[in-house]
A and B are shown apart, each in its own frame.
Chain A
Amino acid sequence: MMLAAPLGLVALLGWAVPLAVHLARRTETRPTDFAALKWLRQKPRPRHRPRFDERPLLAVRLVLIALIALWLARPMLPGSADRSPVTAFAPGTVPGTGEGRRLWLAPGFPPVEQAVAGGGPVDSLIRQLDADLPAGVALTVVVPERLAGVDAERPKLSRAVTWRVVPGGPVVRPAMAAVPELVVRYAPERAGQLRWWRAVGAAWGRPVAVAGTEVPVPAGARHLVWLAGGPLPAAVRDWVAGGGTVLVPVDSPANGAVVWRDALGAPLAEAAKLGRGRIVRLTRDLTPAAMPELLEADFPAELRAVLAPLPAPSVVMARDYAPLTGGPASDEPVRDLRLPLALGIALLWLIERWLATARSRGVSP
């Protein structure tokens, strides 16, 4: 047993109180009328031995104080955890035979006898299970072939895990991001830049709808190139807030964080959120002199990644996701003994009250 707050044992000094209470009454003298005093002869008092009245009550009180002091010292009992091996089944697998305790790899780690609705993030749960188990407990994890909703990094655990892959798992079609369809609105003085956007559209294989700034943006459009200086008109801002993405030239108000850099690390574009949409601003003039990338072959692909980023991969083949070892070992789980102690204290207090208020007791504190 360890004590989390050993200073709590200072409360044992409280033993002095019941000891004093039970001892003090010994030494006091009770005045008594006694007419036959002349037949009493003064005797030297017998050698004073420390004697205590009502020893059972005193014992109960001492034990009670000791328990309270122990409670204040917050005792912990290490090594009380179950050391049988653990087999964890990810939801979606059929719990078969496994050695030791068999659990669902789900929040709370319910035993497999219980039905479990659905799991959480597998990697997080594996890390939690690894931290909860005492060192040296063998852990087997049964996972389906494909795992969804996991980190991009293999979990690093404190122990070697037996990683069993069974058929099954979510069937997720890889998200095929649609090629954006560009809508261009331009001020007359910037008609010269239109050719770049037409080239981009040709590279994407999508038509480009070009019109003046006075033409409203069609409702179904998702991507707009705004070739005009100054702040965006209110109508366009509303459209962006509704979920659109707009690309504005360098002479628009600066905003947002850099999302595209050139080979030297200098910013090429920055983006900011507006409502549910985004405003992407090019930080340079759309000329080959200011922006040599314009002439690069991968410019359309880079631009597409900026305007319509591909969704991050979220499904991994479980065989590639076997946890690594070498993670930090968590502390041994300990049992807090304060609750059973508190129950014992309450019970002992009742006994003390019962003894102290017993009818047979004389007049005493």
Chain B
Amino acid sequence: MWSSGWSRGCAAPVVELIPADVRHRLRDLTLATRRAIGDRGLGAHRSASRGAGLEFAQYRPYERGDEPRQIDWKLYGRSDRFFVREAERESPVAAWVLLDTSGSMGQADAARPDRSRLDAGRALAACIVELALMQGDRFALVTLGEAMRVVPPHGGARARDRLRLELAGLSAGGVLPDERALAPVWGRIGQRDLVVVVSDFFDAGTLDLAVRLSAAGREVLAIQILTVEERNFPFDGGYRFRDPETGEELLGDGAALRAEFVARFGAAQVALHAGLDAAGIRRGELVLDQPLDTPLRTLFG
């Protein structure tokens, strides 16, 4: 299973968030945005037009009309010819991962206390980043929690590693940031960008956020992470249920609460799905006992 290959908060320089089998299956997936296809690039989002940029593409002989500042003067010194240094133009698409790190994401199943919802979330984020890197797209990360962090869009392996370190250091806590705190982020998400919201969607604010982004023309995908206990409610006997975000507590007998909880929770899920569908947001769902790439296959397979 996917939790075996990594641990949280590890001091190693590169933390392996994605288990090997999932990484292997990632090759079959592509990050496809409905709006970017056929715009400028070919195939995936990699731009075929070359020009100024960071990623080196090739040298070509100087032609008339090229700007003199594009000439590689060091190469001229060695070869006595003019060469123009060309770079790949950056991808027009950036994949934004909006990862919920509020307190509810820290919940884990009693059967597997080492595998919390946040662990699955950051592994999913790492998978999306890996997918974007494989197809040359840029990627960015916003964490929605007590400490809101924004990693601006970048491409390349080094940016991927930086982002991975950022993911490894995350911890769950607090509640969703309010609208004002989020406002600066909205401006940075480009018109064509792909936004993946990874959350449990228990807080109504998460749905609002996704709906607003979608309404603003971004392509939004939703990945909901549920624990096994929320799906099955396997409690039997006396329990003191505690909400990690509000601290609210409820005493109850598991067996007596089960039927009503399953019904109400199912209804809430149906309502959530209806809201997402109405906003044109595609959704994937991961329960913690499923393989990690289940929602990725739903969305990108």
For A43, what are the chain B residues with a Cβ–Cβ distance below 8 Å? Answer: 252-253, 256-257, 260
Stretch from A25-33, A293-301, A338-346 at the B interface? A25-33
**Are the C-beta atoms of B261 and A31 separated by less than 8 Å?**
no
Whether A178 sits at the interface, judged by CB under 8 Å, is no
| Interface bits B248-261 vs A (CB < 8 Å: 1, else 0) | 10111100110011
In the complex, residue of chain A having the shortest beta-carbon distance to the beta carbon of B106: A33
Which among B104, B200, B250 has the highest number of chain A CB atoms within 10 Å?
B250
Smallest beta-carbon distance A177→chain B, Å: 97
- In the assembled complex, the Cα of A166 lies from the Cα of B283 at a distance in Å of 112
- In the assembled complex, the Cα of A228 lies from the Cα of B229 at a distance in Å of 119
For B256, what are the chain A residues with a Cβ–Cβ distance below 8 Å? Answer: 43, 45-46
**Are the C-beta atoms of B245 and A39 separated by less than 8 Å?**
no
- In the assembled complex, the Cα of A210 lies from the Cα of B41 at a distance in Å of 160
Whether B243 sits at the interface, judged by CB under 8 Å, is yes
Whether B240 sits at the interface, judged by CB under 8 Å, is yes
- In the assembled complex, the Cα of A30 lies from the Cα of B110 at a distance in Å of 11
**Are the C-beta atoms of B240 and A35 separated by less than 8 Å?**
no
Using known A-B contacts A29-B239, A30-B238, A43-B260, determine if residue A35 contacts B244 with beta carbons closer than 8 Å.
yes
For B61, what are the chain A residues with a Cβ–Cβ distance below 8 Å? Answer: none
For A35, what are the chain B residues with a Cβ–Cβ distance below 8 Å? Answer: 103-104, 107, 200, 202, 230, 243-245
Find B107's partner among A26, A33, A38, A40 (CB 8 Å cutoff).
A33
* A8-46 CB contacts (< 8 Å) to partner B: 26-43, 45-46
**Are the C-beta atoms of B238 and A37 separated by less than 8 Å?**
no
Using known A-B contacts A28-B238, A31-B240, A43-B257, determine if residue A37 contacts B252 with beta carbons closer than 8 Å.
no
Whether B264 sits at the interface, judged by CB under 8 Å, is yes
- In the assembled complex, the Cα of A175 lies from the Cα of B110 at a distance in Å of 99
- In the assembled complex, the Cα of A34 lies from the Cα of B233 at a distance in Å of 10
For B251, what are the chain A residues with a Cβ–Cβ distance below 8 Å? Answer: 29, 42, 45
Whether B265 sits at the interface, judged by CB under 8 Å, is yes
For A46, what are the chain B residues with a Cβ–Cβ distance below 8 Å? Answer: 253, 256
**Are the C-beta atoms of B265 and A36 separated by less than 8 Å?**
yes
**Are the C-beta atoms of B239 and A30 separated by less than 8 Å?**
yes
Smallest beta-carbon distance A168→chain B, Å: 84
| Interface bits B104-126 vs A (CB < 8 Å: 1, else 0) | 10111010000000000000000
Whether B235 sits at the interface, judged by CB under 8 Å, is yes
Given A30-B239, A31-B239, A35-B243, 5 more A-B residue pairs with CB atoms under 8 Å apart are A32-B110, A36-B261, A39-B268, A40-B257, A45-B253
